[in-house]
Structure 1
Amino acid sequence: MSVRQAPTYQQGAPQRQANDDSDEEEETLANEYRAQVGYEDGQDYDAGGMSGGPQDLQAQLVAAAMPLDYQATLETKIQSYDSYCNLFHFILNSEGPVDIEVPSHFWAWDVIDEFIYQFNSFCSHRQRLALQQSNTSVNEDEITVLRDNPNTWGCYSVLNVLYSLIQRSQISEQLAARKRGEDPGPYTGEYGGRPLYQMLGYFSIIGLLRVHCLLGDFSLALKTLDDIELNKKAMFARVMAANFTTYYYVGFSYMMMHRYADALRAFNHILIYVSRTKNFQKGAQYDSITKKNDQMYALVAICVAFYPQRLDETIHTALREKYGEQLTRMQRGGPEALPIFEELFRAACPKFISPTPPDFDQPHLNVDPVEHQLNIFMEEVKTNMFSPTVRSYLKLYTTMDLTKLAGFLEVDANTLRGWLLVNKQRSRQVRQSQGGLLDGDVVNSSDLDYAMQGDMIHVSEAKVGRRLVDWYLRNLARTY
């Protein structure tokens, strides 16, 4: 079979600014999305004469991109895992690159997306059965099958596939060369110039972002995107589902790392894009995008509560319509805000998974990964829940006695010192400017600054110098 010309994944142009909303590029993305909708709605794959035989690779490629039935049995899910293993083994370990024409880059994303979705779904189902093992309604036959197949849809095997596709395609080297403005040709090797490997390798990078986030390793999740620039020139931006997935997991990872400004920038970008293409959304894809859209608005509400800032008018209006009352209560702070933070986090977070299979013999040792991440998040919320109240008092004064402020808040002076220290530390966060997603500069994210001298709090609307900030932190930490 012929091999199509390799697609261009990254342009050599300098990285565009985050607020670059060129109408010409938006129209290009919209046209790409129209093509994608047509592909997903009615265009058939060129199956090349599907015979169903074991050597019919084209048929296997088509099947790999097809969603598994929602009510599929456990045996079917295990068979699907075996089919993926056989397919990827053939692609990665054949003598020389597989010479086959692939349908499109939409297809390549569907393969990786469905592969990770089935992995996530299987692990979540297995974890749920393990946690509910004492329930009489639990299917004991399923537990027996799962206990006998601990390596099915294993975390190691899924990560191994994604890393192997990236390594075999040498896509990271090609993307890095493009970022440097070089010709990626010398870095393609024997496999990297073939669309099959190049496309699967590229979207495996996005897949790694997703899997590491599901495992709770948020810094590694962002690290995987070092060679991909988050702009409209990137290949993932041409596939709506990939675009949406990328920014969702980037934004969520930033949020869990307390980098709320960066999280909001990621969410705002994709939500504005969705608002401009909503007329093309329909069917099952529309339902999926709408659900994810609501989840991201919930995450925006959480980030704005931690880091108040001006939003795009479209985002601001939609946020007020969806979560206006909850946002007001979260921004007010205090214990009454805790249930709202928990509710929104549960509704908007990914379905976290454990890197290891659950212990069916000792179910009391199993930890629910969703509850684990929720507890980590809620500790951050509890630490910051009195910051809005403290700020509201400090805005009224330029100088204030610590004991007097403690009396207003009805707490002892030492507790208030702790709140002030936390509020001060949280107002300084890393914000990405250039380089990788983990890079950035420490900036003061608050319009209110203060320092302490003895028991006196000196408040300023202007940002104080670095030397005074460092002195304040050393002094307050020593006193506390």
Structure 2
Amino acid sequence: MSVRQGQGFQQGQPERPIDDDSDVEEEALANDYREQVGYENGMDDYALDRAQSLGGGTQDLGAQLQAAATPLEYGASIENKIQSYDSYCNLFHFILNSDGPVDIEVPSYYWAWDVIDEFIYQFNSFCAFRQKAAFQPPNSNISEDEVAVLRENPNTWGCYSVLNVLYSLIQRSQISEQLAARKRGEDPAPYAGEYGNRSLYQMLGYFSIIGLLRVHCLLGDFSLALKTLDDIELNKKAMFARVMAANFTTYYYIGFSYMMMHRYADALRAFNHILIYVSRTKNFQKGAQYDSISKKNDQMYALVAICVAFYPTRLDDTIHTALREKYGEQLTRMQRGGPEALPIFEELFRTACPKFISPTPPDFDNPHLNPDPIEHHLTIFMNEVKTNMFSPTVRSYLKLYTTMDLTKLAGFLEVDADTLRSWLLVNKQRSRQVRHSEGGLLEGDVVNSNDLDYAMEGDLIHVSETKTGRRLVDWYLRNLARTY
């Protein structure tokens, strides 16, 4: 997932929770967004021809840096995609391996994000193109000549090369050490080193951390994706929050990673945060950027619908209204559970998931051996859905009783008692989720995320309402009163 499109880092700012929505800081972010729109509108004055700036061997580093932030034209040939990869490699090799730090002033941190974003976008697109070519060569849209070029260049846009660039930029800039020092309230300067004091390395290193979050998520390593953000403070004074596309991308991949780890409360908190921000800045969005953000917005609402189906919870009024408008019918069907809900879960997942990639080049000689990364992760996700398929039905019966006989409930559901017992055990286990409170994104406390709790004593089921359930009922009653 890519949304294409103040100077320096936060200095010792106190860490805030992910859902801090201060109106004062919202206004500051809105002002930053106005500045960003002006920057992006002015990019046309400096746009350079990529073939000349990146591929033509020019010695003008400034022009190469500007070209690296410029999107490759839509429908570029396979030769241009490979040439772009070689140009990125040469550029990053020069930045990382010159005798001493490169002495050049960068335009702004918007530019630094554009470089990393475009680099990863081209990597993702090329891998998807290569995977498509390997499934059914020759493809109606992919010529035999293009397949031959892909065969001859198996290491082009390789996973190892992309990860090596991102990790090298982080290491060279020592940005992780600087950010960790700021979180401790220390002066980051002693940790910066010769390279880390230069804005070029600071900015590229910082956004490479966001890039790693994205790449690890695309590869399906969701724990490592969240681990990469350990040193970044998720508050509105962080640098990524000042760039609309970076802000949106960060919270999308955080939320999606949490969702795939079955931490639905944390996923919803991430999605809600960025969706509220987008709704407050929509008046500044226009043109192609608005169309792109609007599309990604719909995808994120689809993920919110999935998470709410698994974890019924109170939503911000703005999010709740928009969710009902976009996916109200699908959400109702998912919350009912049962086999009828499975196609809805699958449809929304396909609509909203990232374009997963395989870490290795495909086998062109044996297309049937190439796994489809999206289908692979869809299968994993749907296994979780099927495991919880009957939980809403079971929960609807349990809400009517405080004590119930297992055999009686099995009769209502038309299943045998042993099958019902297994459903209850699975539902009980799934209701225990890790929820983030402080520290790294992988850390958290185990909480009961269900609106009901129950215990089994022989064939008796003892049911009680949780605090989550009481809060949820109060919220629904308030919304109902407001509606009528």
TM-score normalized with structure 2 length: 0.92
Aligned ranges 1:26-425 → 2 under 5 Å: 26-43=26-43, 54-133=58-137, 135=139, 138-425=142-429
Cα distance, 1:137 vs. partner? 5.8
Between the aligned residues of both structures, percent identity stands at 85
The SS at the match of 1:191 is: helix
Which letter maps to 2:228? T
3-state SS of the aligned residue for 2:463?
Answer: strand
Q: Which residue of 1 is the match for residue 12 of structure 2? A: 12
Find the counterpart in structure 1 of residue 472 from structure 2: none
Indicate if the aligned counterparts of 1:298 and 1:344 stay in contact, CA closer than 8 A: yes
Helix, strand or coil for the counterpart of 2:446? strand
Match of 1:456 in 2: 460
In 2, Cα distance between equivalents of 1:18 and 1:358: 39
Offset of residue 11 of structure 1: 3.4
Following the alignment from structure 2 to structure 1, what is the Cα–Cα distance between the partners of residues 57 and 126?
A: 27
State how far apart, in whole Å, the 1-side matches of 2:90 and 2:275 are.
38
In the alignment, the residues of structure 2 paired with residue 407 and residue 134 of structure 1 have an alpha-carbon distance, to the nearest angstrom, of 56
Shift of 1:352: 0.2
Alpha-carbon distance in structure 1 between the residues aligned to 2:135 and 2:419: 38
Counterpart of 1:54, as a letter, is T
Can you list the C-alpha shifts for 1:258-277, whole angstroms capped at 9, x where unaligned? 00000000000000000000
Residue of structure 2 in register with 1:477 after alignment: none
Are residues 135 and 19 of structure 1, via their aligned partners in 2, closer, same or farther at CA, if it must alter by over 3 Å? closer
Shift of 1:133: 2.1
Task: Tell me, in whole angstroms, the C-alpha distance in 1 between the residues paired with 2:176 and 2:73.
Answer: 34
1:442 aligned to 2:450?
Answer: no
Runs of 4+ in 1 over 6 A off after TM superposition: 45-48
Kindly provide the CA deviation profile for residues 265-302 of structure 1, in whole angstroms up to 9, marking residues without a partner as x: 00000000000000110111111101110000000000
Distance (Å, rounded) in 2 between the aligned partners of 1:266 and 1:351: 20
Instruction: Classify the secondary structure of the residue corresponding to 1:190.
Output: helix
**Alpha-carbon distance between aligned partners in 2 of 1:107 and 1:312, rounded to the nearest angstrom:** 33
Q: Is the 2:126–2:157 Cα contact (8 Å) retained in structure 1?
A: yes
Deviation at 1:222, TM superposition (A): 0.2
Shift of 1:42: 2.4
Determine the C-alpha separation between the residues in 2 that align with 1:20 and 1:362: 51
The aligned amino acid for 1:123 is C
When normalised by structure 1's length, the TM-score is 0.93
Residue aligned with 1:230, SS: coil
Q: Quick one: distance in 2 between partners of 1:302 and 1:337?
A: 11
Q: Helix, strand or coil: the match of 1:188? A: helix
| CA apart distance, 1:317 | 0.3
- For residues 290 and 44 of structure 1, the distance between their equivalents in structure 2, rounded to whole angstroms, comes to 22
Q: Within 2, Cα distance between the matches of 1:47 and 1:129?
A: 32
Q: Is the 8 A contact 1:449 1:463 kept in 2?
A: no
Q: Which residue of 2 aligns with 1:22?
A: 22
**Runs of at least 5 residues in structure 1 that lack an aligned partner in the other structure:** 1-5, 465-480
SS of 2:194 mapped into structure 1: coil
State the AA in 1 paired with 2:29: L
Work out the CA distance in 1 between the residues paired with 2:164 and 2:423.
Answer: 45
Q: CA deviation at 1:136?
A: 5.9
CA RMSD of aligned residues (A): 1.7
Distance of 2:262 and 2:136 partners within structure 1: 33
* AA in 2 matched with 1:307: Y
> Mind listing any 5+ residue stretches in structure 2 that lack a counterpart?
1-5, 469-484
CA distance 1:46–1:96, change in 2 (3 Å): farther
Q: Which amino acid aligns with 1:9?
A: F
Shift of 1:45: 6.8
**Residue-pair matches, total:** 458
Does the 8 A contact of 1:394 with 1:459 survive in 2?
Answer: yes
